[in-house]
């Protein structure tokens, strides 16, 4: 005990500072804290954090459900439209006034009944305007086309461009180009055009087999009804392998897709697409027993297999 008692006075002197305490050395204190932080970070990075739980499928489903509840998702039709839109073109055909015969002038008579979405009210001049020596062009037909090859190969309806002197196409970005008629398939009212110039970012439509197409499948028709567009209308496949005879009885088409998406004059030649934006048909006719030539709920499209054959191309 005496030895201990003798040591206590010495400890009270200057030598007490030689005892090791972290609290008496700020530099050592901060170094220790830094070391502990590094060790903690490493342990977290190595997945060593106590109680850490793996993400389960239930967590993923809950996150997806939460996103769907808080964000408005585009509809199937909207996605289909965005996919096909860059491939849809407006087709306009022209004819010289000098080629118009007096019988071509309407004289105020009503148009004959028609069940096919023909060219948008063929623009024919009045008797006073039609002068034999006038080579001015007038609008002869307006319809729709779809690019099936990115080099500018376009499918449309034959009745939109038949008998014209000049054909013009307008692409999705507004670019206009002359086009030439390179092929026809009269039995299916189809025509193949080649544009002279195309946009740098031209995108061809994706074609899809109709083998697995069935009634009630959703479809979208895209075109320029009455020259307005591009316009989209949604519906379903109403039937397959339908037969259609023109009101004049001059033509009968078979193996057609019946659909109920709205189609009117100007939709001619436009694509009928699935919800993936893939083309299954080319809109070619509507059934309307009245002289109005407007949509009553029954439209027809040529299957894409036939349409692609018109261009001499395998559809898939």
CA 204/CA 185 separation, integer angstroms: 21
- Catalytic residue annotation: 159, 189, 268
pLDDT in tens, 135-162: 788 888 899 999 999 999 999 999 999 9
CA 271/CA 230 separation, integer angstroms: 12
Where are the chain's structural domains?
Answer: 80-310
- The two tokens of residue 32 are 């220790």
pLDDT in tens, 265-289: 999 999 999 999 999 999 999 988 7
pLDDT in tens, 10-62: 444 444 444 444 444 555 556 656 655 665 555 555 554 555 667 888 878 78
- The dihedrals phi and psi of 150, each to the nearest 5 degrees, come to -70, 0
For residue 81, the Cα-to-chain-centroid distance in whole angstroms is 4
The class level of CATH for 80-310 reads: mainly beta
CA 251/CA 249 separation, integer angstroms: 6
User: Which residues make beta-bridge pairs with 233?
Assistant: 221
- The two tokens of residue 64 are 């997806």
| Residue 66 burial class via C-beta count within 10 angstroms: exposed 0-12, middle 13-18, buried 19 and up | exposed
Q: Which of 225, 281, 292, 223 is nearest to 257 (CA)?
A: 281
CA 149/CA 183 separation, integer angstroms: 14
Pairing of strands 252-259, 299-303: antiparallel
């Amino acid at each position: 005990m005496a030895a201990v008692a003798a040591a206590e006075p010495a400890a009270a002197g200057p030598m007490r500072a030689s005892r090791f305490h972290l609290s008496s050395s700020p530099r050592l204190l901060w170094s220790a804290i830094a070391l502990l932080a590094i060790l903690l970070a490493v342990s977290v990075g190595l997945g060593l954090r106590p109680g850490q739980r793996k993400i389960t499928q239930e967590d993923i489903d809950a996150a997806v459900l939460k996103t769907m509840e808080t964000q408005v998702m585009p509809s199937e039709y909207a996605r289909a439209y965005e996919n096909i839109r860059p491939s849809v073109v407006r087709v306009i055909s022209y004819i010289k006034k000098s080629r118009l015969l007096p019988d071509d002038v309407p004289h105020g008579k009503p148009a004959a009944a028609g069940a096919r979405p023909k060219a948008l009210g063929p623009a024919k001049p009045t008797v006073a305007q039609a002068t034999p020596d006038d080579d001015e062009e007038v609008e002869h037909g307006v319809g729709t086309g779809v690019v099936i090859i990115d080099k500018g190969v376009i499918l449309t309806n034959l009745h939109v461009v038949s008998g014209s002197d000049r054909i013009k196409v307008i692409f999705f970005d507004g670019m206009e180009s002359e086009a030439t008629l390179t092929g026809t398939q009269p039995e299916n009212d189809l025509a193949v055009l080649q544009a002279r110039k195309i946009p740098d970012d031209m995108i061809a439509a994706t074609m899809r087999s109709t083998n697995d197409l069935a009634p009630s499948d959703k479809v979208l028709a895209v075109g320029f009804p009455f020259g307005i567009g591009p316009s989209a209308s949604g519906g379903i496949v109403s039937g397959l392998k339908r037969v259609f005879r023109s009101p004049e009885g001059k033509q009968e088409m078979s193996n057609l897709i019946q659909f109920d998406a709205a189609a009117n004059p100007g939709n001619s030649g436009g694509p009928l697409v699935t919800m993936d934006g893939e083309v299954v048909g080319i809109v070619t006719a509507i059934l309307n027993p009245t002289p109005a030539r407007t949509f009553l709920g029954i439209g027809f499209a040529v299957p894409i297999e036939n349409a692609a054959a018109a261009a001499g191309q395998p559809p898939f």
